[in-house]
Amino acid sequence: MEMGMERWLLFASTLFALIAAAQGTITVYRGQRSRLTLAWMILVICLQSAFLTLRGELRQACPLADFGEVLAYLAWSLTLFYLLVGPTYRISLLGVFTAPVVVIFQAMALIPGVMDADPQAIAGTDPWGETHSATSVLSYGAFALAAIAGVMFLILDKQLKAHQLKSGLFKNLPPVRELIFSLTRLLWIGNLLLTIGIIAGMLMPKPDGLNSHVWAAIAVWLAYLVLLAVKMIRGMTGRQLSRIAVLLFILSLGVFALM
Amino acid sequence: MELVCLGLNHKTASIDVRERFAVGPNKLGEASSKLVNESGADEGLVISTCNRTEFYLAGENGKALITQLEAHLQEHIDSNDPQDHFYRKQGEDAARHICRVASGMDSMMLGETEIFGQVKQAYQAALGAGATKGVLNKLFQTAFRVGKKVRSETNIQTGSTSVASVAVELAEKIFGHLKNSRVIVIGAGQTSRQTAQALMSRGASTVFVTNRSFERANELADEMGGKAVKFDEWQSVLAGVDVVISATSSPHSVVMPFHVEAVRSVRKYRPLFFIDIAVPRDIDPAVGEIEEVYLYDIDTLEDLANEAREKRQLHLQECEAIIDAELNKQKLPGT
């Protein structure tokens, strides 16, 4: 089967994300800080953006018409949030943890049959529908990065508790408190974006009532809102917050099954 | 022209001997001038820190200079003490020695950086007093260059080598910067004081001190700019602190899990770092099982510090190679 130009771009971006993950892992294993991850990830987002642009031109709409496009858009959103949050708040290793997740999402998108080989233009696009899809998937990027920060916290917490302080990973992981702050901040950003997505979803023309995936998105939104409210009002340990953030993200991916 | 060094340090002399030869930082220039005048040397320089006093001389006859200097130092030597606490180095040995000193390789805490500043201060004082010329100027410039090179090209100064610095490093791994962090010290011992001071020097905002003797708690609190808390009231402070340092001489645990459980919800389950420096331990090990608590006892902290010290030892050969290369390149006068 012949690959279109846009699929080559996605393939190249996946390859660079893989290089970022491998090079980052090796550097961390040696006890050093990976300085190239950021550069690799900038390259990754450039290629992802080129892929989405070409795909959008073919669709003549926001490229979220099949599961492969959703996965690619989710990977783009995750990379974008990493580039906004990681270097700004100096959260070392966030890129090294993000890159493999980008590889997984994009590799799934590249599996033959997951993405339309011959994407057709979408007739009669609705701006509310486009806003709903774009902001909702964007919010999943923030939730994905929050889950990644959660995994990083759980690893660091385990090492600190067990007094296992010799690994390169321990030395390079950001402090506990910064991980909790970043995780919470990302959950708020994700929830805010999902709020916009849901409002846009409600404003979409809906001859048969709300779609099942909009209902699912509302359930996800509510779950994250409860988590944030409990964290803010009652408080919770970093471990509980991280575990729930990881679990909720995995469960919330089920929304895409309803598309 | 010959270069010589006569000195004593923590390896050759106990503190009561060292303090007899100590020179205050403000008198180093004067002491260097006096050294030149009394020994008949062309150049002289005195280095004095809490761990060492060393005299560097340059003149025509090295052995005679040392003999002359020893005669002047006799008045400080206890006639009942049969032990010779001094080391004597000449030519290249003396040059190598000052390079090792400036690089922290001869320090009690291998690789420490404070000595570099102390040697620089001594050199500037001697230079200002007109006690140094061509030989010592070139020697000390080389020593400073070597010191910088050793620190930048090897890992001689990496890792925390004391209980206090290990505790600070761990606190930073938990809280990031320590600005606005609050500390409580339970028991006013020497190590707890050092640890609290190290945390304060890294930005901890408030320190509470509690001790069975409230007077002692007050003293330590005053010394550190903190607040004293009565011993039966320390639990009320627990809700607002991030770090607990405990070092009482109590035979039983002072901090029990119920103390922490009682404040968890008020703290909103924020991380809490316990440093137990006491033997027997002050903090019940079960406290460490509480999710947001990180508990480290003295053995663990000592192990980490020892490990860092051992790692520094491994880098000594690299440092010696840098010194050899620099000394071969420079061909210093008097060596």
Measured from the Cβ of residue A90, the count of other Cβ atoms closer than 10 Å reads 10
Residues A92 and A163 in one domain: no
Residues A101 and A144 in one domain: no
Which residues, 6+ apart, have CB-to-CB distance to B62 below 8 Å?
B2, B3, B4, B90, B91
Architecture of domain B2-156+315-330: 2-Layer Sandwich (3.30)
Distance from CA of B293 to the nearest CA of A (A): 8
- B267 and A235 in contact (C-beta within 8 Å)? yes
pLDDT in tens, A216-241: 889 999 999 999 999 999 999 999 99
For residue B114, is pLDDT > 90? no
- B250 and B221 in contact (C-beta within 8 Å)? no
Element (H, E) at A131: helix A127-161
Where in the sequence is the domain holding A113, given as residue range(s)? Answer: 1-117
CA–CA distance, B181 with B167 (Å, rounded to integer) = 14
Measured from the Cβ of residue A195, the count of other Cβ atoms closer than 10 Å reads 15
Average per-residue pLDDT for chain B = 91
Q: Which of A117, A140, A170 is the last residue of a domain?
A: A117
Residues A109 and A171 in one domain: no
**Span of A116-130, B230-244, B295-309 with lowest mean pLDDT:** A116-130
Q: Which residues of B touch A (CB under 8 A)?
A: 170, 172-176, 265, 267-271, 288, 291-292, 294, 296, 300, 304, 307
Residues A111 and A16 in one domain: yes
Distance from CA of B111 to the nearest CA of A (A): 20
Residue type, B8: L
Residues A76 and A160 in one domain: no
Task: Name the nearest CA neighbour of A200 among A127, A255, A252, A139.
Answer: A127
Q: What ipTM was assigned to the predicted interfaces of this complex?
A: 0.88
A177 Cβ under 8 Å from any chain B Cβ? yes
In the structure, what pLDDT confidence band is assigned to residue B35 with cuts at 50, 70 and 90? Answer: very high
pLDDT in tens, B259-311: 999 999 999 999 999 999 988 999 999 999 999 999 999 999 999 999 888 88
Which tokens belong to A209? 């009532």
Task: Name the nearest CA neighbour of B102 among B88, B127, B119, B121.
Answer: B119
In the structure, what pLDDT confidence band is assigned to residue B194 with cuts at 50, 70 and 90? Answer: confident
Residues A151 and A257 in one domain: yes
Average pLDDT, integer, range B58-71:
90
Exposure of B313 in the CB half-sphere (CA atoms within 13 A): 8
**Residue B286, pLDDT score:** 97
A-B CB pairs within 8 A amount to: 48
Residues A32 and A77 in one domain: yes
Give the start-to-end residue ranges of the domains of chain B: 2-156+315-330, 163-306
In the structure, what pLDDT confidence band is assigned to residue A32 with cuts at 50, 70 and 90? Answer: confident
Residues A22 and A129 in one domain: no
pTM, 2 dp:
0.81
CA–CA distance, B270 with B199 (Å, rounded to integer) = 19
Contacting residues of B for A176, CB less than 8 Å apart: 173-175, 271
Helices (H), ranges, B176-315: 190-201, 214-224, 234-238, 257-264, 298-314
Residues A109 and A10 in one domain: yes
Residue type, B99: C
Check whether domain B163-306 has CATH 3.40.50.720, yes or no: yes
- A42 and A83 in contact (C-beta within 8 Å)? yes
For residue B5, is pLDDT > 80? yes
Q: Report the phi/psi class of residue B284: left, alpha or beta, with left for phi > 0 and alpha for psi in -120 to 50.
A: beta
For residue A249, is pLDDT > 90? yes
In chain A, how many domains are there?
A: 2
* Residue showing tokens 């924020």: B270
